[in-house]
Amino acid sequence: MTEHGQQLTTDAPQRKRERLARAALSRLMEPQDAAGLALVKAAGAVDGLKIATGELAPGPGLEQEVASLLVDSGVSNPGVGLAAALRRWAPRIPDLAPERDLATMQRLGGRMVIPGDPLWPVQLADLGLHEPLCLWWRGHEVEFPPVKRVVALVGSRDSTSYGASVTGDFAYGLGQRGCTVVSGGAYGIDAHAHRGALAGGTNNMPTIAVMAGGVDRYYPSGNEDLLRAVANQGAVIGEVPPGSAPTRYRFLQRNRIIAALAAVTVVVEARWRSGALNTAHHAESIGRAVAAVPGSIHSANSAGCHRLLRDGGAVCVTDVGEIAELAGSSGEGLVEDKETAASDHDGLTLEDLILLDALPVRSTSSVEKLAVVAGLSPESVRAGLGRLGLLGLAVSVSGAWKRSGKRF
């Protein structure tokens, strides 16, 4: 795979069959079709497609293997067995035309990538059985960034000016640090995330939009120009073939890809119920970090973020450094040096702090008087005054003591 969109012609024959089979399977099955994914895992994509289309009969051994893969991955719905799946897939068989779909992508300057391709994001393997069969891909052809350099910024479509400004700042800042920003290409937070990353981006894949429908269409249409820019500088990707509608079900499944691509999913603004929370839960379920941005308790658009913080699943983040740290790309002075704002008396013992309190600011005081006021023995007062003097916090004026002029 060297030339833009030329995999099909340059693939080895076996690779080409695998690619065509996955292209067909991605049209036959809805995303996250557990039985179908188990079938591919058990029989491989090429034979899996033959079984799915009735060209090959599944042996009892295979049915058994699919069933146990489903059990292993926690699928317990009785309707998901292979027999039910075959009935489910049958009506779509006449529509299969993988060569046509691949040609469509090529015409659009895109391609389809499958596990093993250099562009394939290896972090998707963490989805286990639910790893997508393939990704339909428009955009830049470079090596996919490692998970530690990828951050998902997600949130409501109806963002507030607060959400817009925070998202823009974060995306720009992450771009400046060489991170890739993943989002869903929607209005609101998603759009601000892509825009900020395009503006601030410093690596060769500043931002990625993961679509719920086919990537032949830039959806929603109001974001067409933005998504075109994302494809030109980064990538617009999706797991369903060209021409597929972005249904609600596909939106929910799409969210698992956003979560799995990134080391951390940051929810910037979300209502009490929001698709962004679904992305956060996907992230949590595969052990990725989830972060939420706090906001006013009077803003309904932050209620979902506060819910995530309250339920304990999310880390509270307030700046890019904290996000980068969470993503594991720290160690480069990413966390701001807030601790250095410590005031002068931070290192003092309790006794010295009491003594400091007792020291007059304008007049002076004797050791004996200080012992009464501070409730310390005269020896302790003398020793403490010595330490405070060394720290520049106390000063002796003809045998009596006062605070030094130093602010604290």
Query: What residue ranges bind a copy of itself (CB under 8 A)?
Result: 28-30, 32-33, 77, 79, 84, 87-92, 95, 162, 166, 247-250, 252, 272-273, 293-298, 302-303, 305-306, 309-310, 315-319, 322, 338, 341-343, 349-351, 353-354, 356-358, 368, 371-372, 374-380
Q: Min. distance of Cβ 219 from a copy of itself in angstroms? A: 15
Nearer to a copy of itself, 61 or 74 (CB): 74
Place of tokens 């991605």: 26
Quick one: 87 or 362, whose CB is closer to a copy of itself?
A: 87
Contact 261, 121 (CB under 8 A): yes
Q: Which is nearer to a copy of itself, 63 or 351 (CB)?
A: 351
Q: Residue 210 and residue 224: Cα distance in Å, rounded?
A: 14
Q: C-alpha 122: how far from its chain's center?
A: 15
Where would I find the H helices in 108-246?
161-176, 189-200, 224-233
The secondary structure of 110-142, three-state, reads CEEECCCCCCCCHHHHHHHHHCCCCEEEEECCC
**In this complex, which beta carbon is closest to a copy of itself, that of residue 87 or of residue 407?**
87
Q: Which is nearer to a copy of itself, 67 or 86 (CB)?
A: 86
6 or 318: CB nearest a copy of itself: 318
User: Shortest Cβ distance from residue 245 to a copy of itself (Å)?
Assistant: 8
Q: How far is the CB of 375 from a copy of itself (least distance, A)?
A: 5
Q: What is each CA distance from 118 to 73, 114, 145, 261, 269, in whole angstroms?
A: 27, 9, 11, 15, 34
Name which of 205 and 371 has its Cβ closer to a copy of itself: 371
Q: Min. distance of Cβ 163 from a copy of itself in angstroms?
A: 11
d(CA 201, CA 198): 5
- Shortest gap between Cβ of 60 and a copy of itself (angstroms)? 21
Ranges of beta strands (E only) in 9-61 are: none
CB of 138 to a copy of itself, least distance (A): 24
Amino acid at 174: L
Q: Which amino acid is at 291?
A: A
| Cβ nearer to a copy of itself, comparing 16 with 217 | 217
Residue 297, classed as helix, strand or coil, is coil
Residue type, 108: L
What is the smallest separation between the CB atom of 401 and a copy of itself, expressed in angstroms?
Answer: 15
Q: How far apart (Å, rounded) are the C-alpha atoms in residues 316 and 264?
A: 12
The secondary element (H helix, E strand) that includes residue 396 is strand 394-397
Question: CB–CB of 108/216 below 8 Å?
Answer: yes
215 within 8 A of 138, measured Cβ to Cβ: yes
What's the min distance (Å) between Cβ of 353 and a copy of itself? 5
Nearest CB to a copy of itself, comparing residues 61 and 337:
337
Closest approach of a copy of itself to the CB of residue 30, in Å? 5
